[in-house]
Structure 1
């Protein structure tokens, strides 16, 4: 009998359209499938798409990749904060 791995889609990052696209690109480069959710609001009304805000653009991944993706996102956020 074979078992099927169960997974859920989870949000790994929420922020501005530009930051979400960068995070998605970094994840794809690390061979982690990712897609954006709510990116249309970021295009239509970017002033509403603040980090963690109601209109933030979300990066969605499989829960199977959560551990490695979390490290990548944390590194990205730390680099953003070190530039300020």
Structure 2
């Protein structure tokens, strides 16, 4: 399988690092492979210079094939007991 055969990764969640880690764990617990993309590093210098929030955070990425199932699981995560 060549690199052109790989499915693109798509963002299914964006939030604080701890929230993103919880969502990634939830998805992986049901068999959906997930990765984290950290947006905080690009904003670190700006944050140190100002007290204005910069909107940095962490995204959870999944395969495009898993997008629908992942978004459904994330949307219903508060209903899980």
Confirm or deny a common fold (TM above 0.5).
yes
- SS of 1:35's partner is strand
* Cross-structure match for 1:32: 32
Aligned residues: 66
> Compared with structure 1, are the counterparts of its residues 5 and 68 closer, same or farther at alpha carbon in structure 2 (3 Å cutoff)?
farther
* Cross-structure match for 2:70: 69
* Cross-structure match for 2:19: 19
Residues 23-62 of structure 1: matches in 2 within 5 Å?
A: 23-38=23-38, 41=40, 54-62=55-63
**What's the offset of the Cα at 1:56?**
1.4
> Compared with structure 1, are the counterparts of its residues 5 and 65 closer, same or farther at alpha carbon in structure 2 (3 Å cutoff)?
farther
**What's the offset of the Cα at 1:7?**
2.0
Larger Rg: 2
- Partners of 2:74 and 2:22 in 1: how far apart? 10
- Partners of 1:19 and 1:34 in 2: how far apart? 14
- SS of 1:22's partner is helix
Structure 1 gaps of 5+ residues are: none
- Partners of 2:62 and 2:73 in 1: how far apart? 12
Q: Which runs of 4+ in 1 moved over 6 A?
A: none
TM-score normalized by the length of structure 1 = 0.66
- SS of 1:54's partner is coil
